[in-house]
Structure 1
Amino acid sequence: MTIKFDLHTHHHRCGHAVGEIEDYVGQAIDYGLHYIGISDHSPYFYSEEDQLYPTIAMAKSEFIPYIEEVLRLKEKYKDKIHVLLGIESDFFPNYQTLYRDEYLLHPFDYIIGSVHYVYDVNIFKKGRWDGLTTAEQVKVKEQYYELIQQSAKSGMFQILGHIDAMKGFYPAFSEIKTDMIENTLKIIGEANVAIEINTSGKTKDCGGWYPADDILERALFYDVKVTFGSDSHKPERICDDFDLVRERLKEIGFKEWAYFVEKKMVMTDL
């Protein structure tokens, strides 16, 4: 039997998704999922403000209510589906201890570590590549992967989020030549952290999943574990392209993929 799961979902608290958590759980049940992971954007814990960027991430004051709501729904729907408590965490090297300490207080099933800022600029900011020389582009890309390497080695995360998402609104990102991706995959494999195949890339200018097939081929070489996340910001996108991703991974040569319960990696056949 194929275990059907989606570990990357959002809801209204982040300010750029729609629906209540229960809407996503209900949709997952309707779609026949065995596991649904709730993983909204972590608050900016380092900020003095309650909600530093209201259209990007939840308020600090919503963090505990968020956890309590997921745990309540986990219990409410336990006979129909496994609801997993996750969070998508920003990775800021200077605030690792602060974030780590916050997460250790709570019973997370997994934490997705995502790099969203390079040189203090959001990776999805349109125009950030304008006017850069080839050398400057390489420097930005290498810094992105340097941060991903650090996140893999931090021990904070079970999953690394969308590891080539910088291509989202700049498809030419994929053509910037550097050895950093190869080195990064080697480090991820050694750290035994999973990477997600995130199907939200198809909704961006790049028009494809994160990461691209060539990265997945090298990930397999370095024995990097993979998992699935739709990165859904509306309930109906849950598990989007799940079966297509399964087939693609099998074509590449993967035999299994992972989900997480109480921070333990569970491998299941593709």
Structure 2
Amino acid sequence: MKFDLHTHHVRCGHADGTIEDYILAGIDAGLSVIGISDHSPYFFHQEDQPWPGIAMARSDFSNYINEVLRLKEKYTGRIEVLLGMESDYFADHAEAYREAYKGVPFDYLIGSVHQVNGVSIFNRNRWKNLDDTQHMNEKKSYYELIKQSAQSGMFDILGHIDAMKGYYPAFSDIPAHEHIDDTLRTIAEYGVSIEINTSGSTKDVGGWYPSDVILERAHHFGVNVTFGSDAHIPSRVGDEWDLVAKRLKEIGFKHWVFYRQRQQVIVPL
């Protein structure tokens, strides 16, 4: 069965299409399951929507939930629609997010680190004029935050765990193997999954997140994997699903997973 747990829509301010557009695209792509997982509001911020082009307004959060639940009912029997969210992980503000999610009937939450030391992971300028030690420290900080997000107990899935390479492909060459291994051990220990996210193809780096090297280490440590296109346009729903499944089998994975009512569902490869 085919599934895609990482999709966005117009509310976040940098994606095209309605939620229903993505559901219909999922049906066209032959999916059995589609997860809706738009960017979380900045729950800690005093303003309702401090960065309109990045995430939905806090005041629109309930509308988002209600729309997904309505469409879940509407498309019963045609495709299973799951209620998710891609949640930012900010160590200093984790409790604000935890409180906001109480009582919401999520099927799953994706935890993603989008900022390190207050700067977007996709900001090309962060790497300018840094020496080797500083490059290493940036990468270590990134994986420390991913590790903390796994330990937080808030998330079912961790999003794009090497996306810092998106606009800086040399990120992958910064030698931090022991820090990545430590993070993967922690992810396995806490029973969190990682996604294979095919949106790297839309960035300078090309390819997927994470790299094959990281996927091989994830398999070694017993980390479960899931699939997310991270579609910001409906035509990318399910993008490269079959290629990802083939590669996972080559690495040695026997199954991958999705989530329903915060419970893991195992899907054989």
TM-score range with shorter-chain normalisation?
A: over 0.9
1:48-59 matches, within 5 Å, as: 48-59=46-57
Q: Which amino acid counterpart does residue 97 of structure 1 have in structure 2?
A: E
| Aligned equivalents of 2:124, 2:20: Cα separation in 1 | 33
Is 1:212 aligned with 2:246?
Answer: no
State the superposition RMSD in angstroms.
Answer: 0.6
Displacement, 1:79?
Answer: 1.4
Aligned length: 268
CA offsets 1:226-266 (integer angstroms, 9 cap, x no match): 00000000001000000000000000000000000000011
| Aligned equivalents of 1:92, 1:129: Cα separation in 2 | 21
| Aligned equivalents of 1:152, 1:242: Cα separation in 2 | 25
| Aligned equivalents of 2:118, 2:160: Cα separation in 1 | 18
Displacement, 1:143?
Answer: 0.3
Q: Secondary structure at the match of 1:110?
A: coil
CA offsets 1:57-78 (integer angstroms, 9 cap, x no match): 0000110000000000000001
Provide the residue aligned with 1:131 in structure 2.
129
Q: Which amino acid counterpart does residue 75 of structure 1 have in structure 2?
A: E
- Say which of 67, 70, 89 aligns to 2:68: 70
Provide the residue aligned with 2:169 in structure 1.
171
Q: Secondary structure at the match of 1:89?
A: strand
Q: Secondary structure at the match of 2:138?
A: helix
Q: Secondary structure at the match of 2:127?
A: coil
Provide the residue aligned with 1:257 in structure 2.
256
| Aligned equivalents of 2:77, 2:196: Cα separation in 1 | 28
| TM score, norm. by length of structure 2 | 0.99
Is 1:38 aligned with 2:36?
Answer: yes
| Aligned equivalents of 2:98, 2:246: Cα separation in 1 | 36
Provide the residue aligned with 2:6 in structure 1.
8
Displacement, 1:105?
Answer: 2.0
Q: Secondary structure at the match of 2:17?
A: coil
Provide the residue aligned with 1:189 in structure 2.
188
Is 1:232 aligned with 2:205?
Answer: no
Displacement, 1:31?
Answer: 1.5
| Aligned equivalents of 1:135, 1:88: Cα separation in 2 | 31
Displacement, 1:97?
Answer: 1.2
- Say which of 51, 76, 79 aligns to 2:77: 79
Q: Which amino acid counterpart does residue 238 of structure 2 have in structure 1?
A: C
Displacement, 1:98?
Answer: 1.2
| Aligned equivalents of 1:208, 1:81: Cα separation in 2 | 28
| Further displaced range: 15-24 or 92-101 | 92-101
Is 1:158 aligned with 2:156?
Answer: yes
| Aligned equivalents of 2:220, 2:99: Cα separation in 1 | 34
Is 1:202 aligned with 2:201?
Answer: yes
| Aligned equivalents of 2:240, 2:28: Cα separation in 1 | 16
Displacement, 1:52?
Answer: 0.9
Unaligned runs of 5+ in 2: none
| Aligned equivalents of 2:128, 2:250: Cα separation in 1 | 37
Displacement, 1:127?
Answer: 1.4
Provide the residue aligned with 1:98 in structure 2.
96
Q: Secondary structure at the match of 1:128?
A: helix
| Aligned equivalents of 1:233, 1:201: Cα separation in 2 | 12
Q: Secondary structure at the match of 2:267?
A: strand
Q: Percent identity?
A: 60
